[in-house]
Structure 1
Amino acid sequence: MDNVKKLTNQLNELLTKNYDAEAGYKKAAELVEGTQLKSYFQSQAQNRYDFGHSLKAEIKGVGGDVDKGTSLKGDAHRTWMSIKDTFSGTDNKAMLEEVVRGEEAAVAEYQEILKEATLAPTTQKLIQKQVSSIQEALASARSLDAWAGKE
């Protein structure tokens, strides 16, 4: 597989996972009680929406085609799908635990792509910026998770 095709596939996988994360955060924002958590989830949904647009631009920039597939792609990020499918109540702590699991998985996936020696400088910069943002979101989620457990 040539480098452009491999990179395009990796970026499209991240794009799909960001779609899932955005949907999961939106769903959590609908279900959660408390303005602080609602605001956090809404902010992260917007971040993931923005990540998606940046990833699409990068895919096009490296000469690849954006996958028009839905977030139900076979290897979709199952943690985020579970947020969308399993929360019928408003268990803030459980939602935050799912966020932590999802963000930990996202960080690992981003870091795996960063190990590639053949990344274009623009791609590397984009991936590093997004993984840093996800790590910040993960730290916030852990902080909020500790807070939610004291309610």
Structure 2
Amino acid sequence: MKTTREQAKETVHKDLVNNLQGLLKKNYDAEKGFTKAMEDAKDSNLKRFLGQQARQRNKFATKLDNEIRSLNEKPTEDGSTTGDLHRTWIDIKTAFTGKDDEAVLEECIRGEKASMEEYEETLNENRFPPKLQTVLNNQLSEIKGTVAKVKNLEDLAENMN
């Protein structure tokens, strides 16, 4: 039988791992979303930017995967059903809009805002070891930067039409 202290420690560990798994799934989804958007984009500069974002999210996922393994847990290997649904929505929307770059950017903004909100919620509602807190805050900061860049690109695309 476990003591109250052992049970509490186990609960904290499980919560930490579950939160990291959720963020890992979000990064798998974002990587796939950026890759899909890159395939749909027409402008070569936009394709390059979207490819960079997919690689960035792959790095985020790798870091989270390593953190989960350092906690002696097995990381999830795939994204979420919600992410699959979002990519299906991108397919449907871009099919009707002719896969124009503006529509691709709108979906990127939507996906990145969802990532940003999940990171913020996870960070606000949980306590992480300081090193991990720094990692997550840095990733959130980069996501916020991506949202700003995508909004600028969207504004440029709108002004070109």
Fold similarity call, TM over 0.5: yes
Q: Does 1:7 align with 2:16?
A: yes
Equivalent residues, number: 149
Q: Does 1:118 align with 2:127?
A: yes
> Alpha-carbon deviation of 1:133?
0.6
Q: Does 1:83 align with 2:93?
A: no
> Alpha-carbon deviation of 1:61?
2.0
> Alpha-carbon deviation of 1:58?
1.0
Q: Distance in 2 between matches of 1:63 and 1:77?
A: 28
Q: Distance in 1 between matches of 2:132 and 2:92?
A: 33
Cα distance change on mapping 1:42 and 1:114 into 2, 3 Å? same
- TM-score by length of structure 2 reads 0.83
User: In structure 2, what is the equivalent of residue 56 of structure 1?
Assistant: 65
Cα distance change on mapping 1:130 and 1:85 into 2, 3 Å? farther
Q: Distance in 2 between matches of 1:85 and 1:120?
A: 42
- Checking the alignment, whether the CA contact within 8 Å between 2:33 and 2:87 is kept in structure 1 is yes
- Checking the alignment, whether the CA contact within 8 Å between 1:17 and 1:77 is kept in structure 2 is no
User: In structure 1, what is the equivalent of residue 31 of structure 2?
Assistant: 22
Q: Secondary structure at the match of 1:42?
A: helix
Q: Distance in 1 between matches of 2:84 and 2:134?
A: 23
Q: How does 1:63-74 map to 2 (within 5 A)?
A: 63-68=72-77, 70-71=78-79, 73-74=80-81
- Checking the alignment, whether the CA contact within 8 Å between 1:25 and 1:42 is kept in structure 2 is yes
Q: Distance in 1 between matches of 2:47 and 2:157?
A: 12
- TM-score by length of structure 1 reads 0.88
Of residues 109, 130, 137, the one that matches 1:128 is 137
Q: Distance in 2 between matches of 1:150 and 1:22?
A: 28
Q: Does 1:100 align with 2:109?
A: yes
Q: Distance in 1 between matches of 2:44 and 2:67?
A: 34
CA RMSD of aligned residues (A): 1.9
Q: Which runs of 5+ in 2 are unaligned?
A: 1-9
Cα distance change on mapping 1:30 and 1:117 into 2, 3 Å? closer
Q: Which runs of 5+ in 1 are unaligned?
A: none
Cα distance change on mapping 1:4 and 1:121 into 2, 3 Å? same
- Checking the alignment, whether the CA contact within 8 Å between 1:103 and 1:138 is kept in structure 2 is yes
